[in-house]
Amino acid sequence: MEKSNLLYLSLLSFVLISTSAISISSQTDYFKIDTQKVLKEVNAKFLGKKYSDLPVLKDGATFPIISAQSAVAIDLVSGVSLYEKDPNKKLLPASTTKIMTALVALDTYDLDQILKVGKINVVGQKMGLVWGEEIKFIDLLKGLLIFSANDAAEVLALNHPAGRDVFIGLMNKKAQDLGLKDTHFENPTGLDGNGGQYSTTRDLVILSKQAIKNPFFKEIVAIKNETVKSVDGKYIHRLININKLLGEVDGVYGVKTGWTENARENLVSYLERDNRKIMIAVLGSSDRFGETKELIKWIFDNYSWEEVKIPN
């Protein structure tokens, strides 16, 4: 049998855990595969193509068990899911919401546009914006994404020409446009809201994949620390990235942390290593950094990337 066919059979047996044909128990390492359904879905996606660098799970690999209520890891080049645990479960996104806040703000403002801080009343993480302060949009964006500042999120929403409610409406419109069927926002900060603030790990990976296409977003979420100032230099804001994986785990370049008491620990991570591009999201974790590190290690210990030609 040709090597490509052997790899194809390996693909059917071990790789496509992203399909609905496969289910992984959160309590065990057991997984099952409906081969005919996987075959149909693989052929629909790759028929007639010579697909390079397709991830193949090694024989005998066991899936890690983590505390997160939901998790997913996606190979961004092929779209293959490398790991899943309840990826469509609706959960509180906390400050991973700010990924969408940033995208709508980037659609709305020019980088050097000056915004004015109005009367804001918000709890949680703040960069210390002062009423009447004038600050460039790019610096607010840094406060939003590096320091996860709730006051920055509110200033961005309140300065929208049509107002805060329209800004939030645009967040939900973009979610619809991106096909995020299990995501909805009530505010730009990620605070828990009144039941209408939710997302899934799968949706957050799709959203983050879109976000890193913007070079400014991609650059900012990889910054460990930064100092920004008001336009007149009177107010200085020192920003330290909450993401402990930056500079600690090879290849991690952001994307966004999140935490509230009810949401627990959330993290979306973008990884570039060995010519691979991987996005990982965990929601409702008791150790977002440790479990993301565990998933990264497991992926590179247990997957190889092969060139596969899907047979007719």
Among 18, 70, 81, 98, the active-site one is 98
Q: Examine the residue annotation and report whether 23 is marked as an active-site residue of this protein.
A: no
Coil/strand/helix, residue 210: helix
> Does an H or E element contain 209, and which?
helix 201-211
Among 70, 95, 208, 269, the active-site one is 95
> Is residue 92 within 8 Å of residue 135, measured between CB atoms?
no
Any idea which residue has 């610096």 for tokens?
Answer: 139
Tell the burial category of 229 from Cβ atoms under 10 Å away from its Cβ (0-12, 13-18, 19+): middle
Amino acid 2 reads E
> Is residue 43 within 8 Å of residue 109, measured between CB atoms?
no
CA distance 18 to 104: 29
Q: Examine the residue annotation and report whether 98 is marked as an active-site residue of this protein.
A: yes
Among 148, 199, 208, 269, the active-site one is 148
Residue 238 forms beta bridges with which residues? 227
Q: Which two tokens stand for residue 284?
A: 């409702």
> Is residue 312 within 8 Å of residue 50, measured between CB atoms?
no
Q: Examine the residue annotation and report whether 78 is marked as an active-site residue of this protein.
A: no
The catalytic residues are 95, 98, 148
